[in-house]
């Protein structure tokens, strides 16, 4: 286990300096939209919160943390907060393979495609798309979270944004529950899969769905992807821990203890693999973490886009 204080102070300094917990400048991480010509205006703003974009960098940094957990070198971690956030962030970005970055862009492109195919009136503004600050909140840095969230919310408010589409459970939770409480700004928040509308199909497939804690339990939204899948003729295997009683993938412990995170992940992956069906996740953290087990896991958006 790493010293939580070291990790929190690094993440907090990175968010303050670069608006990203990993210090990755936005222009480097958020490139998925460049060849898509998405409209800028619409009834909704697509707000990705950059979590899918950060996934390959999280994976890379966890590989390093894994190597040094409980070694003497772990004690030196605190000194990295003396480096400017951009410095460590750009280093991390350079170490992450372009193939991994391209893979991370796929769910984002699929989500934009699904929304367009469902005739949802949405726009995308990369200048307004920012990280929500949720990791600071989860780590207990309330002050840091509020300061960051206020900046993000004010920018949206100044641009006249009232309705947003989120694509991951953590950003959705931040905007639904935390932003109104701590920033004073409220938005009408929809998750992308709540807005999809396709002709029924009969794909004749069966999958195992891993519900993320923040959709299944905190937001009680796990029926919606099941309805979308059933509309396409894709049935979902019943497993013991699902919906409101889903089990965590272990992802949230990644930065403090990769070992603990792996233990929890292995247990959950085994549960999901028992049916022998392909596994579907709908959170970038769960997706990345479960993939580490070597299991056949894909994002919900990938499956839907393939058959829509």
- Going by the DSSP 8-state scheme, the letter that residue 251 receives in this structure is G
Site stretch for another protein (CB under 8 A), options 5-13, 62-70, 77-85, 148-156: 5-13
Residue indicated by tokens 């286990």: 1
Closer of 22 and 145 to another protein (Cβ): 145
Judged by CB under 8 A, does residue 267 bind another protein?
yes
Q: Return the residues of window 220-259 that contact another protein according to CB under 8 A.
A: 244-245, 247-248, 250-253, 256-257
- Going by the DSSP 8-state scheme, the letter that residue 129 receives in this structure is -
Closer of 76 and 245 to another protein (Cβ): 245
Closer of 109 and 217 to another protein (Cβ): 217
Cβ-based neighbour number of residue 58 at 10 Å:
23
Question: Which two three-digit tokens encode residue 54?
Answer: 């950060």
- In this chain, which of 115, 139, 156, 164 binds another protein, going by CB under 8 A? 139
In sequence order, which residues have a C-beta less than 8 Å from that of residue 281 and are 6 or more positions away? 210, 212, 249, 287, 290, 297, 298, 299, 300
Closer of 183 and 301 to another protein (Cβ): 183
Q: Smallest distance from the beta carbon of 253 to another protein, in angstroms?
A: 6
Closer of 142 and 197 to another protein (Cβ): 142
Q: Is 215 exposed, middle or buried (0-12, 13-18, 19+ CB in 10 A)?
A: buried
Sequence-ordered alpha helix ranges (H) in the chain:
4-18, 26-29, 51-68, 85-95, 98-117, 134-139, 142-158, 169-173, 179-182, 213-216, 223-231, 258-273, 284-291, 300-307
Judged by CB under 8 A, does residue 163 bind another protein?
no
- In this chain, which of 39, 75, 91, 140 binds another protein, going by CB under 8 A? 140
Judged by CB under 8 A, does residue 270 bind another protein?
no
φ and ψ at 40, to 5 degrees? -90, -25
CA–CA separation, 207 vs 303, rounded Å?
A: 10
Judged by CB under 8 A, does residue 11 bind another protein?
no
Judged by CB under 8 A, does residue 3 bind another protein?
yes
List contacts with another protein (CB under 8 A).
1, 3-5, 7-8, 138-143, 213, 217-218, 244-245, 247-248, 250-253, 256-257, 260, 264, 267
């Amino acid at each position: 286990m790493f010293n939580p204080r070291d990790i929190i102070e690094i993440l907090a300094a990175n968010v303050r300096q670069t608006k990203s917990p990993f210090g990755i400048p936005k222009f480097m991480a958020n490139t998925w939209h460049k060849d898509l010509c998405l409209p800028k205006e619409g009834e909704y703003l697509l707000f990705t919160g950059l979590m899918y974009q950060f996934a390959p960098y999280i994976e890379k940094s966890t590989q390093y943390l894994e190597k040094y957990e409980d070694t003497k070198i772990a004690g030196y971690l605190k000194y990295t907060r003396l480096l400017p956030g951009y410095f460590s962030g750009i280093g991390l970005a350079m170490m992450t393979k372009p193939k991994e970055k391209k893979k991370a862009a796929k769910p984002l492109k699929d989500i934009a495609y699904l929304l367009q195919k469902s005739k949802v009136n949405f726009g995308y503004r990369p200048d307004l798309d920012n990280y929500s600050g949720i990791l600071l909140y989860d780590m207990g840095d309330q002050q840091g979270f509020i300061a960051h969230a206020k900046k993000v919310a004010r920018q949206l408010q100044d641009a006249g944004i009232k309705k947003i589409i989120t694509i991951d459970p953590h950003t959705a939770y931040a905007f639904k529950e935390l932003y109104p409480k701590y920033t004073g700004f409220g938005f009408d928040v929809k998750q992308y899969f709540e807005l999809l509308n396709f002709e029924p199909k009969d794909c004749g497939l069966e999958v195992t769905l891993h519900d993320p804690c923040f959709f299944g339990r905190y937001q009680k939204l796990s029926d919606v992807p099941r309805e979308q899948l059933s509309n396409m003729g894709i049935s979902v295997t019943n497993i013991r821990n699902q919906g409101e009683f889903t089990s965590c993938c272990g992802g949230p412990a990644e930065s403090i203890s990769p070992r603990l995170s792996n233990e929890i992940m292995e247990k959950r992956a085994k549960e999901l693999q028992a049916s022998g069906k392909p596994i579907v996740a709908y959170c970038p953290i769960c997706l990345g973490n479960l993939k580490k087990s070597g299991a056949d896991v894909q994002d919900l958006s990938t499956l839907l886009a393939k058959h829509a």
